[in-house]
Amino acid sequence: MGKTLASAAGANYVRLLRTYGTVMAAVLIIVVFSVLSPSSFATVDNAINISRQISFLVLIAIGATLVMAVGEFDLSVGSMASFGGVAAALLAVKGYPLAVVFLVTLGAALAIGFVNGWIVTRFKVLSFITTLAMGTILGGLNFRLTGGATVFENIPDSFRYLGQTSVAGIPLLSIIMLLATVLFWYVMAHTPFGRKLYAIGGNESASRVAGVRVAINKNAAFALCAAMAALTGILMASRLGSAHPNGGEGLFLQAYAAALIGMTSFKEGVPNIWGTFVGAAIIGILANGLTILQVPTYMQDIITGCIIVAAVLLQKMGRPQA
């Protein structure tokens, strides 16, 4: 009897660790950096700064999460973010209203993302191959549009507004990030569309038999992923007041790292929005804290990679072996 109770308690502990271990790790990281650098890290100003720093990563990672929910990957998100920034900046320089800048850029991204999904679903091409090719095309297009140079001359103040404005001391970027997180959490958790995406990712054949329109829902996931990547690029360009043809490339691996880390949070082994938010926060807090401690950038990459490996192992912990 005692062994049974001990075994049950151990199983509950492992289950708790698998579900909330990432959140616990985030809290531990914050505590460690607060102790090591209380005057620089553990301040309200730095917390606000971190929220602004992770806003881009959260937005692009949300899009990646949608595609991962249907069991696919979009390797073009970095190039799409670069395209969003370049296209929006060029339109803004030409004097188009901000609404037109957003609508045209996001509309183009939605169309490109839909094409990605259509190729994957219609011709059964692996999403890795399709989106890698699309990312290459977008990379070439970005250099064609800019001539390989950074777009920074004659950027209007109206275009810089979203990226450089604060409301009651809170960056508008942070507010947009939180609103997007809540919106997509609601969509994925409480709407038929979100449930269909999870159903497709869980068992595509069974979903098709159940009457779920697999192709159109997958296409929508790819389209939304592309739009979120383009939005990230627009906001980056707005923040910096410039757009580089490779400006979004650095977010690609981090976006999937955030989503993978997030799969150990809240919904075990399943891509989920709040988990992705926590994963992005961990990456951002680590980068901020290590920078404050003057740790070299390459060490930040090594530590982030180790955390991703740990997150994957944590998903496997305590599961029955085949």
pLDDT at res. 263: 86
**pTM listed for this prediction:** 0.93
Examine the pLDDT at 17 and tell me if it is beyond 80: no
Distance CA 7, CA 62 (A): 37
* Structure confidence by residue, pLDDT tens digits, 256-281: 989 988 887 777 679 999 999 999 99
* Structure confidence by residue, pLDDT tens digits, 42-97: 999 999 999 999 999 999 999 999 999 999 999 999 999 999 999 999 999 999 99
Examine the pLDDT at 186 and tell me if it is beyond 70: yes
For residues 142-154, average pLDDT? 96
**Which CATH number among 3.40.1840, 1.10.3470, 1.20.1070, 3.40.50 corresponds to the domain 49-316?**
1.10.3470
Q: What is the largest CA-CA distance in the chain?
A: 76
**Which residue has tokens 């979203």?**
162
DSSP letter assigned to residue 122: H
Distance in angstroms between the alpha carbons of the first and the last residue of the chain? 27
Examine the pLDDT at 290 and tell me if it is beyond 50: yes
Tokens of 50: 């971190």
Model confidence at 322, pLDDT cuts 50, 70, 90, reads: very low
Examine the pLDDT at 177 and tell me if it is beyond 90: yes
Name the H helices within 147-190: 157-164, 172-190
Total length of the chain: 322
Angle at CA 137, nearest 5°, toward 86 and 118? 105
- Distant-in-sequence, close-in-space partners of 92: CB < 8 Å, separation ≥ 6: 98, 101, 155, 156, 158, 159
**Domain residue limits, the chain:** 49-316
For residues 114-129, average pLDDT? 97
